[in-house]
Amino acid sequence: MIEDTQSLSDEIAELKKADEPRRGPIEARKKAMDLLARREHARGELLAKLEKAGFESGIALDAILKLQSDNLQSDARFAEAFVQSRYNQGKGPVRIRQELRERDVAAATVDVAVSEFDADWKALARHTRERKFGAELPREFKEKARQMRFLQYRGFEQDQIMAAVGER
C-alpha cells in the first residue's frame, strides 16, 4: 500500500513537470512579445522581467537581441514614448533624462529623444505651476521658493523655473 502511494505521488510529480512551461528561447521570445504588446520596454527592463519570469540571462538576452533585429524592441522607440508620457504628466527634461538613465537607456538615445521632442518646456513649467498653485504668481519670497523647489523636483531647468514664477 505504501509503495502504491509512493508511485502515485511520483506519477503526479511527473505530470506536474510536464505541465510546467519550458524555459527555452521560443518561450522567452513569446513572453517578451507579450510584454511588448502591452507597452514599449527598454532592453534592460525587458531583460529583468524575463529573468524574473525564470528565464536564464543568456536565453533572455538572445531573445531580446533577436527582437531588436526584427525591430520589435527598440530603446529609441521606448525613449520617445517615455518622453511623451512624462511630458503629459508635467515633468521636465531633467527628471525625464534621469528616469531614462535609471532604465539603462544609453545616454545618446536619451539625448536624442529629449532634444528631438517638440516641447515648449517653459510653457509646461508655467502650466504645471498653475495646476498646483493657481494662476496668481507668488509675491512673497517664501512662497516663490516653495514653488521653485516644486518645479525643480519635477525636473525643470533653472531658466524654465524662472519663467514659470514670473522672473523672466
What pLDDT score does 23 carry?
Answer: 74
Q: Cell 507668488, residue?
A: 138
Residues 127 and 111 in one domain: no
Residues 12 and 59 in one domain: yes
What pLDDT score does 2 carry?
Answer: 52
Domain that holds residue 101: 75-116
Residues 43 and 93 in one domain: no
- Residue 129: give its domain's CATH number: 1.10.10.10
What pLDDT score does 6 carry?
Answer: 65
Question: Any residues with CB less than 8 A from the CB of 77 and at least 6 apart, and which?
Answer: 40
- Alpha carbon distance 152, 166 (integer Å): 15
What pLDDT score does 127 carry?
Answer: 96
Residue 22 per-residue DSSP state: P
What pLDDT score does 20 carry?
Answer: 47
- Residue 103: give its domain's CATH number: 1.10.10
What pLDDT score does 3 carry?
Answer: 55
Residues 85 and 63 in one domain: no
> Looking at this protein, which amino acid is placed at residue 85?
S
What pLDDT score does 5 carry?
Answer: 62
Q: Cell 504668481, residue?
A: 137
pLDDT tens, per residue, the chain with 168 residues: 555 566 666 666 665 554 445 578 899 999 999 999 999 999 999 999 999 999 999 999 999 999 999 999 999 999 999 999 999 999 999 999 999 999 999 999 999 999 999 999 999 999 999 999 999 999 999 999 999 999 999 999 999 999 999 876
The closest of 39, 47, 121, 48 to 80, measured between CA atoms, is 39
Domain count, the chain: 3
